[in-house]
């Protein structure tokens, strides 16, 4: 994969701010579970909170390859921050950009693109994770309003978001064809934030329950047409998976760099441990796996930029990169021994952060279902 000069410049800007501002604070944010508002503010100034947004809506108008390059760099330093950015861009903004009316775009996109407001995507429920047909949250028309009733769980950016793309069923008998999408603002009466999850990893990202208790929104807040809810969700997730693949690759690259640097200076039996084949070969395998994930991820991004079918490739990239990130982080801990297991070094955090990439935006088991269906047609 060769980046052009503009893409390299975007990658460098993301790398520089990560090294200067984001990475040094990652440990503190992980320990306190505090939302990294300062990181988001700085990234917003640089255009990373509106990466795919056209300039007419005050966005950076980046291609997907540039977004992938930026996300990987940010994830090397802080996976929590990278998750916030990835979810905001792909799941918070993209559905409105793809399916919103001109009025909806003009109302919500500029603020989201600047990072002045945060976006979230609310599909998952206690009884509806991988099976979107089981969504129980309802939307019932009452005059010029919809009444939304139900709840969502494990919503990324939930406690920080101002704008939510929420999925509810208008006709449960129709299954996924009865699903619809709605834009709901944080301050809407009847809408509240429920339980805040305390997580194993990406602890500085906000993951919450959402509660809709006879929440009333105007009819014009529906996103897309009747029957398009499932389509909106799946198209959004296809793009989001490319971002998660980039994020996983970045986590792995960060863990690899920590382990490699440690192995070059740590001495045992009078020589650096990296000269031992057992360690050198582990590092070689890690480098191979990271590069393979990177190529899969960039390939999916290139297909997206070319406006051709990319869903299967996005699923492949997400699955391989996330499985790889967990293994690379574990190997980094093994190379560093007791220090790797200690919180003195960041690799234990990276291992905890890597695990979620196998789960969110569609578990890897579901990705294999998607891939197998495509290759067995």
Is 361 among the residues known to form the active site?
Answer: yes
DSSP single-letter state for residue 341: H
- Both 92 and 136 in one domain: the answer is no
Domain end, chosen from 187, 212, 229, is at 229
Q: CB-based contacts of 15: which residues, under 8 Å, 6+ apart?
A: 73, 76
Count of the separate structural domains present in the chain: 3
- Assign residue 18 the CATH number of its domain: 1.10.540.10
- Both 304 and 354 in one domain: the answer is yes
- Both 135 and 168 in one domain: the answer is yes
The whole-number pLDDT of residue 101 equals 98
- Both 248 and 352 in one domain: the answer is yes
- 106 dihedral zone (left: phi>0; alpha: psi -120 to 50; beta): alpha
Place of tokens 């090397």: 76
Per the CB < 8 A criterion, the answer to whether 156 and 139 are in contact is no
Closest CA to 233 of 168, 157, 156: 168
N-term to C-term CA, the chain: 29
Domain that holds residue 49: 5-117
The whole-number pLDDT of residue 130 equals 85
Per the CB < 8 A criterion, the answer to whether 112 and 93 are in contact is yes
Place of tokens 């918070």: 92
Please name every residue paired with 59 in a beta bridge, in sequence order, or none if there are none. Answer: none
**Structure token pair of residue 123:** 């599909």
- Both 64 and 28 in one domain: the answer is yes
Catalytic residue among 267, 313, 361, 374: 361
- Both 143 and 272 in one domain: the answer is no
Q: Model pTM greater than 0.75?
A: yes
- Both 334 and 348 in one domain: the answer is yes
The whole-number pLDDT of residue 131 equals 87
What's the rounded Cα separation, in Å, for the pair 314 and 86? Answer: 14
The whole-number pLDDT of residue 132 equals 83
- Both 361 and 250 in one domain: the answer is yes
- Both 187 and 59 in one domain: the answer is no
Domain end, chosen from 76, 100, 117, is at 117
Q: What is the mean pLDDT of each run of 10 residues along the chain (377 residues)?
A: 93 98 98 98 98 97 98 98 98 98 98 97 93 92 98 98 98 93 98 98 98 98 96 97 98 98 95 96 98 98 98 98 98 98 97 98 96 95
Question: Which parts of the chain are beta strand (E)?
Answer: 119-122, 138-142, 145-156, 163-169, 179-185, 191-196, 207-218, 222-223, 267-268, 271-272
The whole-number pLDDT of residue 133 equals 82
- Both 297 and 256 in one domain: the answer is yes
Domain end, chosen from 80, 97, 117, is at 117
Neighbours of 373 (CB within 10 A): 10
- Both 293 and 327 in one domain: the answer is yes
- Both 105 and 136 in one domain: the answer is no
- Assign residue 141 the CATH number of its domain: 2.40.110.10
Neighbours of 369 (CB within 10 A): 14
């Amino acid at each position: 994969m060769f980046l052009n000069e503009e893409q390299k410049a975007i990658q460098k800007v993301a790398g520089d701010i990560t090294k200067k501002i984001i990475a040094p604070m990652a440990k503190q944010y992980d320990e306190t579970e505090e939302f990294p508002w300062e990181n988001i503010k700085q990234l917003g100034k640089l255009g990373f909170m509106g990466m795919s947004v056209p300039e007419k809506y005050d966005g950076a108008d980046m291609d997907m390859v540039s977004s992938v390059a930026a996300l990987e760099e940010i994830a090397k330093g802080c996976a929590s921050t990278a998750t916030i950015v990835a979810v905001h861009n792909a799941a918070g903004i993209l559905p409105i950009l793809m399916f919103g009316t001109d009025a909806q775009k003009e109302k919500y996109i500029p603020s989201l693109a600047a990072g002045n407001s945060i976006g979230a995507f609310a599909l998952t429920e206690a009884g509806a994770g991988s099976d979107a047909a089981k969504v129980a949250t309802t939307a019932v028309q009452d005059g010029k309003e919809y009444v939304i009733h139900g709840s969502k769980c494990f919503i990324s950016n939930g406690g920080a978001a101002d704008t939510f793309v929420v999925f509810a069923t208008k006709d449960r008998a129709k299954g996924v064809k009865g699903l619809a999408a709605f834009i709901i603002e944080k301050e809407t009466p009847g809408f509240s934030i429920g339980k805040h999850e305390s997580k194993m990893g990406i602890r500085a990202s906000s993951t919450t329950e959402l509660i809709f208790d006879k929440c009333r929104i105007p009819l014009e807040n529906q996103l897309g047409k009747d029957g398009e809810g499932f389509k909106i969700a799946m198209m959004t997730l296809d793009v989001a998976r490319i971002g998660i693949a980039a994020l996983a690759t970045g986590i792995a690259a960060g863990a690899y760099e920590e382990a490699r640097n440690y192995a070059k200076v740590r001495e045992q039996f009078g020589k650096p441990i990296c000269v031992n084949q057992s360690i050198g070969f582990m590092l070689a395998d890690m480098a191979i796996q990271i590069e393979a994930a990177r190529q899969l991820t960039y390939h999916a991004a290139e297909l997206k930029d070319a406006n051709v079918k990319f869903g299967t490739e996005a699923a492949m990239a997400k699955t391989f990169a996330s499985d790889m990130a967990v293994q690379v982080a574990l190997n980094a801990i093994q190379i560093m021994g007791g220090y790797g297991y200690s919180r003195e070094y960041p690799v234990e955090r990276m291992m905890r952060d890597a695990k979620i990439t196998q789960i969110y935006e569609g578990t890897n088991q579901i990705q294999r279902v998607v891939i197998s269906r495509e290759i067995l047609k």
